[in-house]
Structure 1
Amino acid sequence: MNFEYSPLTGFAIVMALIILLPRLMERLRLPAVLGFILTGILVGPAFFGVVEKDGPVITLLAEIGKLLFMFFVGFEIDLELFKKTRNRSMVFGFLTFIIPMVLGVALGRAFGYGWTAAILIGSIISSHTLLAYPILQRLGVVGNAAVAVTVSGTIFTDIAAMLVLAVAISIHQTGFSVRFLLIELVELAVFVPLVMFGLSKVARKAIIRYGQTPEVRVMVMLVVIVVAAEAARVIQLEGIVGAFLAGISLKRALRGKFAVEQLEVLAHSLFIPSFFLATGFLVDFAVMKQTILTQPLMVAGLLAATFGGKALAAWLTGLRFRFTRAETVTMASLSFPQMAATLASAVVGYEAFNAHGERLLDAGFVNAVVMLVIVSCVVGPILTARSAPRISGAPQVSPAAPEPITSTEAPYDAPSAGYHSHLPPPSVDQTRTPS
């Protein structure tokens, strides 16, 4: 259905739906991000056509939103917690990445996808979002060893999934060769420390020197994110990889959140919702229906590979480190939800063309991923809510243990899960490194 709307009327309709639908999803105990996607479905070409699918404004807003989302994913990674649980976290992180990865590759090949697409499918389901983390915070079990290992292991899966995405997109667009792969690895070896250490120092100095007002800080951060994204594209990586690394590096450099608080408000109110709106535009009910009817095994296989792979990884880790059954179930349920990073990777794969104009992933797979997101985001928190109370009395990590846990900082879950400090922001000078 198509109606004639003035740009301002369309904008008002979109903003109203962005306010209402995410709250409705939360009342239904569903992730608010689904409300953004539903808004995109309603205002997109599938229904009312309020917003032009390929309009330059929404395209730009969605692109910036995608970069900002991945920036905040990186910014909320707690490297200190990862260091304290490094050994156990690496085991769980490796297992919860590689098992779904292998299953995803097998699934992709079984349904006729090429090796590059199949590898990308594997990496898409190997990452996860800690959607149920607030449940653990309310129960006071974030210091439990199994919970901390799961949280820290997420860092491994996020970084590994982003790197696989980068290589897969590059191979699809330019073709595979040993020479190309070696060049790509060398470029990565230069690019990662350049962003992690070089760009972060530049940003820190710029904020200290010029960032006396919130407006300037926001502009500096936006420039840093875009520069990191464009630098990634120069070496044929996806821009979200640069934004992700920029988030990690600036967290280290700024030693606090006050410098990004204003950027966070802007991102969550305009840019990130625009990205999910654009994702909603891709949902085609005709294609979704056809996917379910013609390829029900692919949808079922995607669900089985995700849930089965994550559950097996949690069980093997629990067996190795003697976690209780409740702790093991909690680990599995925490790693089930597939959310915005999964959607972002799927959309990037869908938008990647090779020299012959062929997409890396098709619309059918993107719609299957949307179904995976819905199911996993419902099942994961429900299981966490049932299993986590049984570990409330479990012993916390002992201070005498080799890997004590002191940090309880929550990772970034989704655009709907805000994190706001109730303390007044310190002055910029307080970001200087103590001598």
Structure 2
Amino acid sequence: MFEGVTILTTFAIAMTMVVLMPKLMERLRLPAILGFIIAGFLLGPAAMGLIKEDGPVIYLLAELGKLLFMFFVGFEIDLDDFKKTRTRSITFGVLTFILPFAAGVLVGRLTGFGWNASLLIGSIIASHTLLAFPILQKLGLTQHPTVLMVVGGTIFTDIASMLVLAVTVSVHLTGFSWSFLGKEMLELAIFVPLILFGAGNLARKAIIRYGQKPELRVTIMLVVIVVCAEGARIINLEGIVGAFLAGIAVKRAVRGKFAVEQLEVTSQALFIPAFFLTTGFLVDPVVLKQSITESPGMTFGMLAGVLAGKTVAALLTGLIFRQSRPEMGTVASLSFPQMAATLASAVVGYQCINSQGVRLLDATFVNASVLIVIVTCVLGPILTERYAKQMRQDATAEAKTSSASESEVAVAPDVATERRSLCS
């Protein structure tokens, strides 16, 4: 039906949907992000077929979009504020990794997977993607202590899950080796400080020397992000971890947004929407049916493990640090979405074949992963928007109450002074 459509016409249709679909979602009181995902489904191979999922152009745009998305998540972090929530971030990070991880290992063992594959399954559902972060940006909550706690916890879950991936793949291919595990830990201990302290300073010096024009600053920042992402891949981490750390590093070294203003505009207009469009490509009714009918225990067990594990982690963290109900709801829903790291790890596990011709993970698991991605990516943003709005209302009310109390304290001495003067 659309075989004669030129690539420029396809681009125009895609960009039109990128503009219109988020607006439609907002009118339906749904997160705008869902508009991109639905547009991707309609344009993708399962519906209209206008865009091929393996096309080199869309792949490049989506890959850059994924990296830029995580870069700006990292860029929103102010390390000075982050230090204030360090204890909370570590606590939440450990809980939100360990609980889903244990659930995933249990589901893997109960559905017939070996220990090595089950450990990988646990790590896959333990990670999460901050898909709903743009909602918090829109509501002005990115510097809220609860949000900083979730973002800090994400560092732990992503790095831990990628480390488990690297170890399980190595064990499947060559057998377990303590030397390999030690090598991975050493590389990680070198890589993280190198990015946090080296990449940011390098970017600042390059911008000072060569970045007089906006287009040059965009180019410099793209190079920094891609190099950090590739550096992460060299040590068997997902590229998004490197991009995320690059965002933190650049924010630390370059105060203000002048270095990334033009890059942010370009990213929000083209690259990041392309990333969400390709997520919509995964929505395939046939695959969804197969996941439900052929492996219900795996599919619903993993889904329950994600939702229950992340929710319990949020509740325990909230009880420990006395957070409000909207804060706990925001924490849980923000950590629901399974996307970038989940799909990447699932595909790597499927493509990992040892010398006996055995895959680490089978196609059934990949299908189940797709369904989990869809459900969590739909449910997470919807709940995040709901709870985050309540959290903002509570914060606004608390600020007004605090302001009123300060005004009363300031006025009280003046009233007393006036009474004394009248009496005299």
Using structure 1 for the length normalisation, give the TM-score.
0.79
Once residues 204 and 255 of structure 2 are traced to their aligned partners in structure 1, the CA distance between those partners, rounded to angstroms, is 10
Amino acid paired to 1:205: K
Deviation track 1:109-138 (CA, whole Å, cap 9, x = no partner) reads: 434452243132332359785566468759
More moved, 64-73 vs 126-135: 126-135
- Give the unaligned 5+ runs of structure 2: 403-424
Amino acid at match of 1:152: L
Q: 1:335 aligns with which of 332, 336, 343?
A: 332
Q: In structure 2, what is the Cα distance between the partners aligned to 1:375 and 1:282?
A: 16
Change (3 A) 1:359 1:373: farther
Amino acid corresponding to residue 352 of structure 2 in structure 1: N
The C-alpha deviation readout for 1:226-266, integer Å capped at 9, x for no partner, is 11112222223222221111111111011121211111111
1:210-234 per-position Cα deviation (integer Å, ceiling 9, x unaligned): 1111000000001111111122222
Q: 1:160 maps to what in 2? A: 156
Task: Considering fraction of residues, name the structure with more helix.
Answer: 2
Cα distance in 2 between the residues matched to 1:10 and 1:391: 44
Please, which moves more after superposition, 6-15 or 123-132?
Answer: 123-132
The C-alpha deviation readout for 1:332-357, integer Å capped at 9, x for no partner, is 333313577x3111221233221458
Number of residue pairs matched? Answer: 387
SS where residue 4 of structure 1 aligns?
coil
1:382 maps onto 2:379 in alignment = no
SS state of the match for residue 45, structure 2? Answer: coil
Deviation at 1:304, TM superposition (A): 3.5
Aligned to 2:368: 364
AA in 2 matched with 1:328 = R
- Alpha-carbon displacement from aligned partner over 1:249-298 (angstroms, at most 9, x marks no partner): 11101112121111111111111122222222222211112223444454
8 Å contact from structure 2 (residues 129, 341) kept in 1: no
Map residues 204-223 of structure 1 onto 2, 5 A cutoff.
204-223=204-223
SS at 2:162 equivalent: helix
Change (3 A) 1:156 1:221: same
Summarize the Cα distance change of 1:205–1:132 in structure 2 as closer, same or farther, 3 Å threshold: closer
C-alpha contact (below 8 Å) 1:346/1:366 kept by paired residues:
no
**Cα pair distance change 1:105/1:132, threshold 3 Å:** farther
SS in 2 for 1:48: coil
Change (3 A) 1:303 1:132: farther
Task: Tell me how far apart the structure 2 counterparts of residues 7 and 169 of structure 1 sit (CA, whole Å).
Answer: 37
- Asked which structure has the greater CA Rg, the reply is 2
CA contact (8 A) 1:350 1:366 kept: no
Give the Cα separation in 2 of the matches to 1:277 and 1:379.
Answer: 21
Letter in 1 for 2:242: G
- 2:38–2:280 CA contact under 8 A, matched in 1: yes
Q: Taking every aligned residue pair, what percent have the same amino acid on both sides?
A: 47
Change (3 A) 1:127 1:260: closer
Q: Which residue type is aligned with residue 336 of structure 1? A: S
Out of 97-106 and 265-274, give the one that drifted further: 97-106
Alignment of 1:255-404 (within 5 A): 255-323=255-323, 327-338=324-335, 342-352=338-348, 353-356=351-354, 358=359, 360=361, 362-385=366-389, 389=393, 393=397
Per the alignment, in what secondary structure is the counterpart of residue 291 of structure 1?
A: helix
Contact 2:347 2:366 in 1 (8 A): no
Task: Between the two structures, name the one with larger relative contact order (CA 8 Å, sep ≥ 6).
Answer: 1
Distance in 2, Cα, partners of 1:158 & 1:396: 32
Supply the distance in 2 between the matched residues of 1:349 and 1:6 (Cα, whole angstroms): 34
Aligned to 1:431: none
- Opposite residue 123 of structure 1, the aligned amino acid is A
Give unmatched runs, 5+ long, in structure 1: 399-435
| Separation (CA, whole Å) in 2 of partners of 1:52 and 1:385 | 37
Cα RMSD (Å): 3.1
Mapped to 2, the partners of 1:250 and 1:268 lie a distance apart of 19
Distance 1:172 1:279, change over 3 A: farther
